Amino acid sequence: MDERRIPPKQKVLTAIKKVLKRYLKIESQDRLADEVLRELRKEDKNYVITPTRVKRIALEIPEIEVKAKTKKSINLQKIEKCPICENEIVERKIKNLVGKEIIVGYKCTKCGYESDLEAFMPMKYEFVWKG
């Protein structure tokens, strides 16, 4: 049986940049994940990755703009501190189609806690290379 392997973040980051440099714009999280996985599997065919992880990493890349394909602003329940360790939490924000910033998740600055809008409702994203 094949052994599934989780690619290290740095490799995912590089693969995302490579894919977006090539296509300049990708209109769905699933398609981005497919392309990134294809890139990663050139190196190790057992690599697996979820579209959510790809999106989270893409959000950290300054050369990439992530837009939410919605006009509505979504009200996530406001979290003041990490529900696990009670440390400071940072908001992940992106812009929607009308240029309004919306919160798409939270990340703890201490422990590994992360939450994502996907846990509450399905979202569509667009990824644009600005590099």
Task: Please identify, using beta-carbon distances, which residue of 46 and 87 lies nearer to Zn ion.
Answer: 87
CB of 80 to Zn ion, least distance (A): 12
Size of site (CB under 5 A) for Zn ion: 8
| φ, ψ dihedrals at 83, nearest 5° | -70, -15
CB of 93 to Zn ion, least distance (A): 19
Q: What is the spatial distance between Cα 95 and Cα 15, in angstroms, rounded to a whole number?
A: 23
Residues 63-102 that bind Zn ion (CB under 5 A): 82, 84-85, 87
Buried b / exposed e across 64-90, counting CB within 10 Å, b at 16+? bbbbbebeeeeebeeeeebeeeeeebe
Task: Please identify, using beta-carbon distances, which residue of 6 and 111 lies nearer to Zn ion.
Answer: 111
Contact segment (CB under 5 A) with Zn ion among 70-78, 95-103, 106-114, 118-126 equals 106-114
Task: Please identify, using beta-carbon distances, which residue of 13 and 85 lies nearer to Zn ion.
Answer: 85
**Within 10 A of 33 (CB to CB), how many other CB atoms are there?**
21
Cβ–Cβ under 8 Å, residues 104 and 116: yes
Residues 11-30 that bind Zn ion (CB under 5 A): none
CB of 83 to Zn ion, least distance (A): 8
Handedness of CA 63, 101, 124, 105 (dihedral sign): positive
CB of 113 to Zn ion, least distance (A): 4
Task: Enumerate binding residues for Zn ion (CB under 5 A).
Answer: 82, 84-85, 87, 108, 110-111, 113
